[in-house]
Amino acid sequence: MGWRSLSGISAEDRALCVFAEALTREPAGMRESHVQALRAEGFDDVAIHDAIQVIAYFNYINRIADAVDVELEPEYPPHPRDADR
């Protein structure tokens, strides 16, 4: 289940999810318009900075976990790379 399927998500949370997805999927493609979308929802520079730090940290940790093949918790669906195993 992804964030797009959540019902009742606030405009602020939706903007943050859009930002997080953009930073995760294409970091070199980040533009001022991404930041402006957060500002339009009431995020100040400190909140935007904090969001960037958290998003980047989770991306970092997930890449390490993928690189060393950390096993997921049993209640999580299998990693896509394990679909053929």
Rounded to two decimals, the pTM is: 0.80
Residue/partner pairs of 35-44 with CB below 8 Å, 24 or more apart? 40/15, 41/11, 41/12, 41/15, 41/16, 42/12, 43/12, 43/15, 43/16
The domains located in the chain, with CATH, are: 3-69 (1.20.1290.10)
User: Which pLDDT tens digit goes with each residue over 6-21?
Assistant: 889 999 999 999 999 9
- Only one residue has tokens 């993928």, namely 66
Does the pLDDT of residue 78 top 80, yes or no?
no
